[in-house]
Amino acid sequence: MTYPTFPSDCTSMLCRFLTPEVFEALKDKKTANGFTLEQAINSGVVNPDSGIGVYAGDEESYTLFAPLFDPIIEAYHGFGKEQKHQSDLNPDHLNAPNPDPEGEFILSTRIRVGRNVAGLPLGPAISKSQRNEVEASVVEGLESMTGALEGTYYPLLGMSKSVQEQLIKDHFLFKEGDRFLEAAGLNRDWPEGRGIYHNHDKTFLVWVNEEDEMRIISMQPGGDIKEVFTRLVTAINAIGEKVPFAFSEHLGYITSCPTNLGTAMRASVHIALPKLARDMDAFKAITEKYHLQIRGIHGEHSESEGGVYDISNRRRLGITEVQAVQDMYDGVSALIAAEKAL
C-alpha cells in the first residue's frame, strides 16, 4: 500500500492527521482480528469530502493505530490521551424543562446511543456469521422487553421496499447505501443481519448492525427532552442486562466511528428556525458556543427543508450523558430565544 493522494481542497481529519510519517509507522500493522490501516482509512480515501474519514474495526484499532486516532479524538472531542471517560445516566441530574411548551418550534426530540457487543469485532471487521450472531443475541434480549418497551423486531431481509422507504421517510430507520459506510466495509452482506426493533408507539427503537451493532433510540413528538432521556436510560439498562456492551475506562463505549466514542450519544431536536436561518452566521455563532452540530432534516449529510434543522450535541467523549443532553438543551433554549427576538 502506498501513501494515498488527497485532493488539494481536502479538509477531512484523515487528510490533516495522516502524515507520511504516521502512514509509514502504521501501514503494515494488523489487529488480532486482521484489521489494517488500509481498511481504517478507506472511507476517507474514497470520500475525500468526509468530515473525519476513519473507522475502527475493533477496540484494538484505537491503540494500534493511536498515532492516527488520538489526534482525531483530541480534535473532535477535545479529549486528551491521559483523560478518563465518566458516565452519568441519572435523569434526576438533568435540568431540562421543556424549552418549547407551546410547541411552536420543536417538532420532535430524539436521543440515541451507539453500543457494540463486548469481545467481538466492530462492524467494519465483523464476519458474516459473527454479525448474524449479534443479531440473534440482541433480538433475543429485545424480545424479552416488557411494558412500554415491548415491541417487535423487523429484519431488513424480506422487508418490502415500500415499508422500508416509509420507515426511512418517517425518520425511524437508517438509510440504505450510505457511501461513507460502504467504503468502511459496513455494508457487507447487506441486508442480512440488519433490522429494526420498535415498541408499538415507535418511541423506543433499536437499529441492529448498522454503523454500530446497536443504536438504541428514544424519540417522540415535541420537546420533552427529559421524558425522552428517561425512557432511553430505562432501555439501555434493560438491554445491558442481556447483552454485554464494549466499554473502556479511557474511551467509554467503543464505537466504529471515533466521533461516537464515550457516551456514544446524540441528543437532537428537529426544530423550525426560519428567521434565524436567514442569517447563518448568527445561527452558527450560537451553535458553536453551545458545542452543537447542525444537520439536515434527513440526518447526516442531508439538507434542511423549510427552515427545519436537526440540532444535536457535537461532543460525546469526556463529558457525561447528562452533560451531552444538557449541551443540547442549553443551546436549543438559546436558539429559541434568538428566533423569538427576530
Catalytic residues: 112, 211, 215, 257, 259, 266, 295, 300
* Residue 108 cell numbers, joined: 420532535
Q: Is 193 helix (H, G, I), strand (E, B) or coil?
A: coil
Interface pick for ligand ILO out of 64, 89, 243, 257 (rule CB under 6 A): 257
180 binds, among ligand ADP, ligand ILO, none (CB under 5 to 8 A by kind): ligand ILO
* Residue 168 cell numbers, joined: 426511512
Interface pick for ligand ADP out of 295, 314, 315, 316 (rule CB under 6 A): 295
The answer to whether 313 contacts ligand ILO (rule: CB under 6 A) is no
The CA distances from residue 220 to 42, 146, 172, 229, in Å, are 36, 19, 11, 11
Contact at 8 Å (CB) between 182 and 271? Answer: no
Contact at 8 Å (CB) between 223 and 107? Answer: no
Contact at 8 Å (CB) between 281 and 236? Answer: no
Interface pick for ligand ILO out of 33, 39, 42, 50 (rule CB under 6 A): 50
259 binds, among ligand ADP, ligand ILO, none (CB under 5 to 8 A by kind): ligand ILO
Contact at 8 Å (CB) between 56 and 36? Answer: no
Window 153 to 212, contacts with ligand ILO (CB under 6 A) = 180, 211
Fill in the per-residue mask, 236 to 275: x = in contact with ligand ADP (CB under 6 A), - = not in contact: ------------------------------x-xxx-----
Distance CA 159, CA 140 (A): 19
Candidate segments 134-142, 196-204, 237-245, 255-263, binder of ligand ILO by CB under 6 A = 255-263
Distance CA 23, CA 233 (A): 40
Burial (Cβ within 10 Å: 0-12, 13-18, ≥19) of residue 56: buried
User: Smallest gap, in angstroms, from Cβ of residue 22 to ligand ILO?
Assistant: 18
The answer to whether 264 contacts ligand ILO (rule: CB under 6 A) is no
Nearer to ligand ADP, 153 or 172 (CB): 172
Candidate segments 48-56, 132-140, 243-251, 290-298, binder of ligand ILO by CB under 6 A = 48-56
Contact at 8 Å (CB) between 316 and 265? Answer: yes
Angle at 128 (CA atoms; ends 125, 133), nearest 5 degrees: 100
Radius of gyration of the chain (CA): 20
Which H/E stretch holds residue 152?
A: strand 151-155
298 binds, among ligand ADP, ligand ILO, none (CB under 5 to 8 A by kind): ligand ADP
287 binds, among ligand ILO, ligand ADP, none (CB under 5 to 8 A by kind): none
Candidate segments 107-115, 121-129, 279-287, 318-326, binder of ligand ADP by CB under 6 A = 107-115
Window 159 to 218, contacts with ligand ADP (CB under 6 A) = 171, 215
User: Smallest gap, in angstroms, from Cβ of residue 341 to ligand ILO?
Assistant: 32
Distance CA 45, CA 305 (A): 30
Cell 442549553 appears where? Answer: 330
Nearer to ligand ADP, 45 or 216 (CB): 216
In the complex, the residues that contact ligand ILO under the rule CB under 6 A are 43, 50-53, 180, 211, 257, 259-260, 300
In the complex, the residues that contact ligand ADP under the rule CB under 6 A are 108-110, 112, 171, 215, 219, 266, 268-270, 295, 297-300, 310
